[in-house]
Amino acid sequence: MDKLIIKGGKKLKGRVDISGAKNAALPILAATLLTDERCIVKNVPMLTDITTMIKILGELGKSVKRVGSTLVVKTQDKSRCVAPYELVSTMRGSICVLGPLVGKRKKAKVSFPGGCVIGPRPIDLHLKGLRDLGIGINVKGGYIIGNGKEIKGTRIYLGGHFGSSVLATANVLMASVLAKGKTVIENAACEPEIADLVRFLKKMGAKIHGAGSPRLEISGVRYLKGCTHALIPDRIEAGTYMLATAITKGDVYLRGGQFDNLLALIDKMREAGVSIEKKGKGIRVRHVKGIKPIDVTTLPYPGFPTDLQAQMMALMAITQGISVITEKIYPERFIHISELNRMGARIVLEGPNAIIKGVEHLSGAPVMASDLRASASLVLAGLVAKGTTEISRIYHLDRGYENLEIKLQKIGADIKRVKE
């Protein structure tokens, strides 16, 4: 098992290239199940989650060939409809094969998903939306068994306790594109990754209106064709490097960073005193003065992303004054607090609110990653801490950040990966 060793105190300077979006790649790769023709997906990052999805597609009769950052997906066996526990249990995003399987092949047997431990993330909205389309859903032996022989367009409301659901929207959307009649999804997720999925489906021949809005209208078609598509850049990776630049008082250009998809983060970082400007095909981030404490509340897009909450907390941990971060998407997503406190942070949790009293500096320490974004927050803390930080269980990072330590090395970080 690998770990990261970071010697803090280096300012990040230079240019970092933003990889393709993991959270767009997973549903788009699942959407290739909607056609028997060849699909080419470009700008696909090299991540363990992507590798898992490729293996799942293999179990479902697809062959996937990687050439650099391009995946070529072909159909070999149209009869296979079982996504096994051994794979699906390792990654929550794999649940998005359920919709296209029942939509195209009219049957599916998909294990309940797994993934990061960040609190309960039920799939009730997925099952509700699919049932509204007329899909028979049964749960047996830890598997979701779907029967899609009578899929018909209808009006569906996808509101949950904490707002819209990206994966539920993707699942229901993919199940509806081959349905008879018109489907309207209300309270659909507005995330850029859903808009990218819509662009992919429209290239395949789907008829969809309303991408980027809470209302999607889908007119079912009889079949979909293969297509070629390049993924959008990963806004969460970009946001992580933006916060890493701020925490180290650096100056970094993020090539490929999409300014318009990060407005909530940019607004809060500017409020804190960070200089951020749109420049060419990317974003320049500079630390120009002292950082000020701020209050942040995570919300569905276009609100502040829950996937950047932990990284923002690392920045606020060394910001003089008191900051409050309120988590409204996953209220239990605070496992990283104990590890940040081990490094000298002063953070107290009160319900869904993390109250952060900034300290002058953090101290390097052995820490353990608990989930993907918590791991990133520990990397940011290590970059600015005095002394050496050792982060174990970094396989979480490999799920969502392509060549993280290599990219950080290129912009000045003292970081290396070693075998434990």
Q: Is 355 in the same domain as 244?
A: yes
DSSP 7-62: E--PPPEEEEEPPBPHHHHHHHHHHGGG-SS-EEEES----HHHHHHHHHHHHTTE
Residue matched to tokens 């068994």? 145
Q: Look up the CATH number of the domain holding residue 265.
A: 3.65.10.10
Q: Is 112 in the same domain as 237?
A: no
Picking from 230, 264, 292, the residue at the C-terminal end of a domain is 230
Q: What is the pTM of this model?
A: 0.96
Q: Is 217 in the same domain as 287?
A: no
Q: Is 147 in the same domain as 63?
A: yes
Q: Is 239 in the same domain as 136?
A: no
What is the chain's pLDDT, residue by residue, as a tens digit (420 residues)?
899 999 999 999 999 999 999 999 999 999 999 999 999 999 999 999 999 999 999 999 999 999 999 999 999 999 999 999 999 998 989 999 999 999 999 999 999 886 544 444 578 999 999 999 999 999 999 999 999 999 999 999 998 877 789 999 999 999 999 999 999 999 999 999 999 999 999 999 999 999 999 999 999 999 999 999 999 999 999 999 999 999 999 999 999 999 999 999 999 999 999 999 999 999 999 998 899 999 999 999 999 999 999 999 999 999 999 999 999 998 888 999 999 999 999 999 999 999 999 999 999 999 999 899 999 999 999 999 999 999 999 999 999 999 999 999 999 999 999 998
Q: Is 46 in the same domain as 63?
A: yes
Tell me which residue range forms the domain holding 345: 2-19+233-419
pLDDT at residue 121, as a whole number = 53
Q: Is 216 in the same domain as 326?
A: no
Burial class of residue 139 in the structure, from the number of CB atoms within 10 Å of its CB (0-12 exposed, 13-18 middle, 19+ buried): exposed
Q: Is 357 in the same domain as 316?
A: yes
What is the distance between the alpha carbons of residues 362 and 338, in angstroms, rounded to a whole number?
13
Number of structural domains (the chain) is: 2
Of the listed 39, 81, 116, 190, which one is catalytic?
116
Q: Is 211 in the same domain as 62?
A: yes
Q: Is 250 in the same domain as 158?
A: no
Picking from 199, 230, 261, the residue at the C-terminal end of a domain is 230
Catalytic, 227? Answer no
pLDDT at residue 161, as a whole number = 77
Picking from 165, 195, 230, the residue at the C-terminal end of a domain is 230
The reply to whether omega before 293 is within 30° of 0 (cis) is: no
pLDDT at residue 173, as a whole number = 98
Q: Is 143 in the same domain as 263?
A: no
Q: Is 215 in the same domain as 329?
A: no
DSSP 182-225: EEEEET----HHHHHHHHHHHHHT-EEE-TTSSEEEEE--S---
